[in-house]
Amino acid sequence: MTKENDIYERITQKIITDLEKGELTWRKPWSSDHLASQVMRPLRWNDVPYTGINTIMLWATGAEKGYSSPYWMTVKQANTMKAHVRSGEKATQVIYVDKFEKEETGPDGKTEIKKIPFLKTHSVFNASQIVGLPEGFYKIPEIKVINPQERVVELENFFKQTKAEVYSGTQAAYSITTDKIEMPPFECFLDAPNYYATLAHEVTHWTRHPSRLNREFNRKKWGDEGYAKEELVAELGACFLGADLGFEPVTKEQHAAYIQSWLGVLKNDKKFIIQAASYAQKAVEYVTQLQKPSVSVPDPKPTM
């Protein structure tokens, strides 16, 4: 087994183990006492957020280990700030895509250089594992999850700026045929978090349209493997949006049923959880890029 396959196997097995226990790895920060009030994207030492599968894995590690800081960095990065990792601390692996060049001869006899992508890993430590960093790295971010039982202007504006067509109905669903989102009235939801979490889920589905990100997964019918894959992307997209915008992606009733279908998908395809996180990240970036500069979005970053 190659090193790259080892990476896929390790990450996928972690997700499968959690799912088999009925847990959703990507939702652990919201159920963690020390993180629930300040859930946000994990940050690099320079305040750049981690994305995709790294968001999920660093969230999970932070929740399990009790780390309160959102910052993660390499030993070298810590050392440049005259800080050091405590003795005995264990690193967490993050992944990134690198490329190597390969010379190939085509059917016409011409030689061309192709760039082949492959996965690599970095070892990082949470700021909570490091001694001597500037004080800002240890501050608990002052961020509130937006959970009032009324509409939130910032969130209303954010979803409105996507220009997704939303109409009032009896269920929450996106139709790719009509390219419309059906949502029950706000008043029908248990509370505001349920409403915005559901809308974020459906807006993530909305990005799959051929005129946008064109996710297809070879879906043939409701409930098949392609359906399960798209539902996982929408679930991750709602969680990423929740962390970025400051609302809690509350647990949906369908999760118990989805867990079994997601287990089937991940056991059959060891690479899909990383791909799903990438698709979700692209969906979040797509709807975020639709925002006008005048729109105010809650900023989850702590002050250094």
pLDDT in tens, 73-93: 999 999 999 999 999 999 999
Distances (CA, A) of 90 to 56, 75, 87: 18, 11, 9
pLDDT higher than threshold 50 for residue 229: yes
Mind giving me the DSSP string for 179-202? Answer: TEEEE--GGGSSSHHHHHHHHHHH
pLDDT higher than threshold 80 for residue 228: yes
Q: Can you tell me the distance from the alpha carbon of 186 to that of 171, in angstroms, rounded to the nearest whole number?
A: 12
pLDDT higher than threshold 80 for residue 146: no
For residue 297, is it within any domain? no
For residue 144, is it within any domain? yes
For residue 279, is it within any domain? yes
Find, among 293, 275, 217, the residue nearest to 56 by Cα.
Answer: 275
For residue 300, is it within any domain? no
For residue 303, is it within any domain? no
Instruction: Say how many domains are in the chain.
Output: 1
For residue 295, is it within any domain? no
Expressed as residue numbers, the domain containing 224 is: 3-289
Q: Pick the residue with more confidence: 168 or 103?
A: 168
